[in-house]
Amino acid sequence: MLTMRDVTVRLGGHLVLDHAAAAVPARARIGLVGRNGSGKSTLLKVIAGTLQADAGAIDVPRQSRLGYVAQDAPSGTATPFETVLAADAERTRLLAAVETARDGEDIGEIHERLATIGAFAAPARAARVLSGMGFDAAMQQRTLDSLSGGWRTRVALAAVLFAEPDLLLLDEPSNHLDLEATLWLESYLAKYRGTLVLVSHERDLLNNVVDHILHLEGGKLTLYVGAYDEFARQRSERAAESESQRARQDDKRKRLQAFVDRWRYKAHSAAQAQSRLKALARLQPIAAAVEEQEVEFSFPSPDALRPPLLTIEDGAVGYDGTPVLTRINLRIDPDDRIALLGRNGNGKTTLARLLCGELPAMAGATNGSTKLKVGYFSQYQVDELVHADTPVQHMARALPGTLPTIVRAHLGRFGFSGEKADVAVRHLSGGERARLALALITRDAPHMIILDEPTNHLDVEARDALVAALNEYAGAVLVVSHDRHLLQLVADRLILVADGTAKEYTGSLADYRTLILSQPDDDEETTSKAARGTRKDERRAAADLRERTKSLRQAVKTAEADLAKLTRQRTEIESALNDPKAQGPKRGDLMKSHGELARQVAAAEERWMDASLALEQAETAPG
């Protein structure tokens, strides 16, 4: 379906794609992955034809319809519904033709073709796609110009999905979606009948949608069969095998070289030495596996406060005297890990702003420690960074009067060490800017961190680092995210923001996914009482299971935190051992500590595996 032959692209003098080549099978669902800045978006643009390659070629079968979401969101006075319907170019053309046709035979042929392509069912299908993207009936009829940029981007995505092209190219499609729309998109793409090339950093989306992984690294492409977890396993095994082969070759090279050095000038063995010398020349060097720099960061530990950190009783919050949420009853303790669920527009951000103090309560009682400090991350903070300033300049403004060494030490927690702290924001990647924003909101070691879609610019490795940092953090965490993998690893409490209030959700994320995907579209009949009763029983059973496994889930969480902490300590000691100054008694102490930590890490891994197995058995056991 899609063949890339020696594609080479240079941008600003930098080689992005270097004779990249791959053959994508027809109707394959491809996950295009790689580190931020590796060239994934560039490759999509070349395939879409919006960027010309310096060399090489892209081959797509003739007459294939290609779908690609442009960077510019649609605008104007048309409605989302009209925009999506117009995306089916053939339907639009045929409807216009039938209005002007005069010949009865021509009219008949047009109507026959309209029936063949399902043109008369298209309005209902367009409404379903928009509904999946989070548009209710009223929003589908608003003008594009009345919508925010994020919602207009959703319209563009809905339009390309509705058109059902033969080759669909999607670049981080979930970045502007909430969890609910992401779940719908995942379900839709898993059944997509054309060829799909999807750029994403979300493990669940990649695991549940794609059947091949196309890995872009160093300007080259490698195609793997399977979803993301299978790719990660295969890549790890390949790297280990390559390193093993390289080590064996290095050993052989050393032995050959030693023989040559010893006997090449001895008369009785000169011939053998020459033979070894030729063998040495024939040895093609195996490159060492490229070790990508690991992304690590950590949140500063806050001073201890007695629980609860914050309570709200029968609270209300809103804007300009109009409440958005009422009947809020919430308690947050220092060790809480909370995920806010609910569609965009239901009030998740409003609740987050109430908790961080940006919005006052309109009713009810709100009580919290006078010493409570809250760090609040949202996307606008990333967008408001000063592009001409460096991380050091940003942090120095946020911490006036603080010693430069302390400013740099805090930046170092988030990967801005040495010269990296002095690079202008304009030269930082999206993920690095997000990490700088996280560093700024945690500069005073807050007791609670509220994160509103923190992963939009983070690649897989950075998301894993964020999970590790959150699990090690000693304060409370409240997160809004469409990344289900992150929520599963971090959150142990779920709060659903819907119907004008915020309530504890007693099911699991899997239950919530089932609930979202089973909800009828606006044009379908209301579910029967019997079906509602069945779902009620299912929710009650899910709540019982969640209560029974509470201690096991806590054990898994504790084991994960212990393992992360011990692994970090071991890494620090390994770094110290690599220091030339670590000699004599000091090195002996470090070696002893390293050995002890190795045993502790092994024990922690065993505890984690035992706890995870026990939890899995409990969750899958009948009754």
Count Cα atoms within 13 angstroms, Cβ side, for 599: 5
Name the 3-class secondary structure at 411.
Answer: helix
Q: Residue 619: its pLDDT value, please?
A: 60
CATH number for the domain whose boundaries are 2-231: 3.40.50.300
Query: In 18-78, which residue ranges form alpha helices assigned H by DSSP?
Result: 40-48
The residue with greater pLDDT, 247 or 442, is 442
Q: Mean pLDDT over residues 203-226, rounded?
A: 94
Neighbour-count burial of 282, counting CB atoms closer than 10 A to its CB (0-12 exposed, 13-18 middle, 19+ buried) = exposed
| Interatomic CA distance for residues 171 and 168, integer angstroms | 10
The percent of residues above 90 in pLDDT, for the chain, comes to 55
- Burial letters 19-35, b for 16+ CB under 10 A, else e: ebebebeeebbbbbbbb
Mean pLDDT of the chain: 85
| Interatomic CA distance for residues 198 and 28, integer angstroms | 11
* Residue at 437: amino acid letter: A
Topology of domain 310-505 in CATH is Rossmann fold (3.40.50)
User: Which pLDDT band holds residue 596 (cuts at 50, 70, 90)?
Assistant: confident
Comparing 67-81, 149-163, 531-545, which segment has the lowest mean pLDDT? Answer: 531-545
| Interatomic CA distance for residues 39 and 409, integer angstroms | 32
List CB contacts of 446: < 8 A, sequence separation 6 or more: 302, 373, 374, 375, 475
Contact predicate 567/605, CB 8 Å:
no
* Residue at 344: amino acid letter: N
| Interatomic CA distance for residues 155 and 151, integer angstroms | 6
Domains of the chain, residue spans: 2-231, 232-282, 310-505, 551-620
The percent of residues above 70 in pLDDT, for the chain, comes to 84
List CB contacts of 604: < 8 A, sequence separation 6 or more: 559, 562, 563, 566
Q: Mean pLDDT over residues 551-569, rounded?
A: 77
User: Which pLDDT band holds residue 556 (cuts at 50, 70, 90)?
Assistant: confident
List CB contacts of 288: < 8 A, sequence separation 6 or more: 243, 246
The 10s digit of each residue's pLDDT in 266-309 is: 544 455 556 655 665 665 565 444 445 567 789 999 999 999 99
The 10s digit of each residue's pLDDT in 169-202 is: 999 999 889 999 999 999 999 999 999 999 999 9
List CB contacts of 283: < 8 A, sequence separation 6 or more: 249, 252, 253, 256
| Gyration radius (Cα) of the chain, Å | 29
CA dihedral defined by 457, 461, 466, 469, rounded to 10 degrees?
A: -160
Q: Are 2-231 and 310-505 in the same CATH fold?
A: yes
Comparing 2-16, 147-161, 216-230, 569-583, which segment has the lowest mean pLDDT? Answer: 569-583
List CB contacts of 548: < 8 A, sequence separation 6 or more: 618
Q: Mean pLDDT over residues 472-499, rounded?
A: 94
- Name the residue among 208, 183, 209, 187 with its Cα closest to residue 196: 209
Q: Residue 362: its pLDDT value, please?
A: 95
Contact predicate 161/65, CB 8 Å:
no
User: Which pLDDT band holds residue 207 (cuts at 50, 70, 90)?
Assistant: very high
């103090």: which residue's tokens? 357
The 10s digit of each residue's pLDDT in 437-454 is: 999 999 999 999 999 999
| Interatomic CA distance for residues 360 and 354, integer angstroms | 6
- Name the residue among 166, 172, 215 with its Cα closest to residue 69: 172
